Structure 1
Amino acid sequence: MNQKRIFMTCEWRDLIMSTFEVEKSVLEPYLPKDTAIDLYNGKALISLVAFTFSKVKFFGIKVPFHQHFGQINFRFYAKSKTDGSRGVVFIKEFAPKHLIALVGNTLYNEPYFFKDIGLKKQIKEDSLKLSYNFRDAAIKAEASYSTKDLKKNTLKHFVVDRYIAFIKNKKNKTVRYNIYHKPWKTYQLSKSVLDNRLLQLLPTNFKNLKHLSTYLINGSQVSIQRGVPQ
């Protein structure tokens, strides 16, 4: 890891990830240069990811009032045409902090939007309840605190175990963001609920989505490194 190119450190924790099958043609306009859709058993997938964003530092400097909040994004799965590396492409990202949305849009050309994302967390002795919401629509999950490692060659491993984000910059070049963290584990999910009104945050051409899975993931500390545009 080249520490000189690390621009942000933070924690991403308590991730609820709900995944859907979608038509390939809907995703193709979002592909950065020299990337292709990464299919799972021939299927194109998108995920709604709701998570807790905390302990944010830009270039090692702690950001006041940006230390604990909920965030929601929509992403799909892509791979590099040059070296085959696998990552994600963001369709839209929503945060309840103007600074995060401003920096993401202006400096890094990410599709960030300000939305008042709510977060509720309830911890009991052996279980966890989470809820992320926008207005009256929420995604919720309940789980025990026991966790499992990701099993390779499964849908869960395919959507969770990603360490690269491909971003199309303003010059139509592709920037690769390397995301460093220890391997994540999944909680033993007992219940999940997704209000389909959250899917209305997607562009209007995302229709007829077929739900495949929902997982609750523990998360970890994260370091993000910006690559050279290609």
Structure 2
Amino acid sequence: MAKPFLTAQWRNLLMINFAITPALLQKYVPHRTELDTWNDTNYISLVGFLFRDTKVKGIGFPMYRTFEEVNLRFYVRYKEGSSWKRGVVFIKELVPKYLITFVANTLYKEKYATLPMRHRWHSPDENTLHVAYEWKVGNEWNFLKANAAAAPTAIIPGSEAEFITEHYWGYTQSGPELTSVYEVTHPQWRVHEVFDYDYRCNAEALYGPAFAEALAQKPVSALLAEGSDISVQPKLRL
């Protein structure tokens, strides 16, 4: 295996999940991949989390080691031989640093954008963890937030949580018939039971009318994953 392009910790991944009509996603599905489903449902997720101890090719850059990210993603799979490689496709990824956006868009051909961002974690009591991520669109702060059990538990095999979190590949449409892929490695995460959650997202400004309609409906679920150390391998072509 090649040396990782990026290593970091991903912590407190808050995922708010929506059902979406497959037709809305088809033009974003990278060549040679297909939509992945759980219980015959196509999912799209708003995900907020924190990068910590971030290093690119083993080098940590001051002021760029800890930062928030919020992304909108959906789920695909690619068949290699007799096995499926399940992964995600990003509609857009938001970060608070322009240099991160430049590197990601230039080297990885991703769809990053830079906005003011902040986060807050705290425990109002010994049994509860509050997690919130915020990003500013125009003059309005958007947010994802949840109250969850302080103690994480193992993911149940075959569950929705396993489907949402167990996608270890990132797929990007790099040309008309060209798909790039990179592997993200990490142990299976534990999850915190979510008691209640809320969100506000100017989806039309960020993602366009089609996704605004999808994100205006009631979410299917919310998950809070504990996170872990992760590594991102160099990008390859399918």
Flag whether TM exceeds 0.5 (same fold): yes
Q: What residue is the counterpart of 1:220 in the other structure?
A: 228
Q: What residue is the counterpart of 1:100 in the other structure?
A: 100
Could you tell me whether the CA contact under 8 Å between 1:89 and 1:165 is conserved in 2?
yes
Q: What residue is the counterpart of 1:16 in the other structure?
A: 14
Q: CA deviation at 1:116?
A: 1.2
Distance in 2, Cα, partners of 1:111 & 1:227? 15
RMSD between aligned residues? 1.8
Distance in 1, Cα, partners of 2:52 & 2:134? 17
Task: Summarize the Cα distance change of 1:145–1:224 in structure 2 as closer, same or farther, 3 Å threshold.
Answer: same
Task: Summarize the Cα distance change of 1:46–1:199 in structure 2 as closer, same or farther, 3 Å threshold.
Answer: farther
Structure 2 residue 36 is the aligned partner of structure 1 residue 38? yes
Could you tell me whether the CA contact under 8 Å between 2:18 and 2:214 is conserved in 1?
no
Distance in 2, Cα, partners of 1:38 & 1:54? 30
Task: Summarize the Cα distance change of 1:53–1:138 in structure 2 as closer, same or farther, 3 Å threshold.
Answer: same
Task: Summarize the Cα distance change of 1:93–1:27 in structure 2 as closer, same or farther, 3 Å threshold.
Answer: same
Task: Summarize the Cα distance change of 1:69–1:196 in structure 2 as closer, same or farther, 3 Å threshold.
Answer: same
Q: What residue is the counterpart of 2:142 in the other structure?
A: 137
Could you tell me whether the CA contact under 8 Å between 1:109 and 1:170 is conserved in 2?
no
Aligned counterpart in structure 1 of residue 191 of structure 2, from 159, 182, 186: 186
Q: What residue is the counterpart of 1:167 in the other structure?
A: 172
Structure 2 residue 148 is the aligned partner of structure 1 residue 150? no
Q: CA deviation at 1:118?
A: 1.5
Task: Summarize the Cα distance change of 1:227–1:138 in structure 2 as closer, same or farther, 3 Å threshold.
Answer: closer
Structure 2 residue 61 is the aligned partner of structure 1 residue 69? no
Q: CA deviation at 1:202?
A: 2.2
Q: CA deviation at 1:170?
A: 4.6
Distance in 2, Cα, partners of 1:172 & 1:226? 20
Q: CA deviation at 1:53?
A: 1.2
Task: Summarize the Cα distance change of 1:179–1:52 in structure 2 as closer, same or farther, 3 Å threshold.
Answer: same
- Aligned pairs for 1:82-93 within 5 A: 82-83=80-81, 84-93=84-93
Q: What residue is the counterpart of 1:111 in the other structure?
A: 111
Output one character per residue of 1:109-157: Cα deviation in whole Å (capped at 9) or x when no partner.
Answer: 0111111121112145443211111232211111222111111222111
Distance in 2, Cα, partners of 1:57 & 1:123? 29
Moved over 4 A (4+): none
Q: Which moved more, 1:63-72 or 1:214-223?
A: 63-72
Q: Which amino acid aligns with 1:128?
A: L
Structure 2 residue 37 is the aligned partner of structure 1 residue 29? no
Q: Find the residue that maps to 1:41 and give its secondary structure.
A: coil
Aligned counterpart in structure 2 of residue 57 of structure 1, from 43, 46, 55: 55
Distance in 2, Cα, partners of 1:95 & 1:171? 27
Q: Find the residue that maps to 2:104 and give its secondary structure.
A: helix
Q: Which amino acid aligns with 1:132?
A: Y
Distance in 1, Cα, partners of 2:107 & 2:76? 22
Output one character per residue of 1:44-69: Cα deviation in whole Å (capped at 9) or x when no partner.
Answer: 11000000112110000001101222
Consecutive unaligned residues in structure 2, runs of 5 or more:
none
Distance in 2, Cα, partners of 1:129 & 1:67? 23
Q: Which amino acid aligns with 2:86?
A: R
Q: Which amino acid aligns with 2:132?
A: S
Distance in 2, Cα, partners of 1:198 & 1:126? 33
Distance in 1, Cα, partners of 2:99 & 2:177? 24
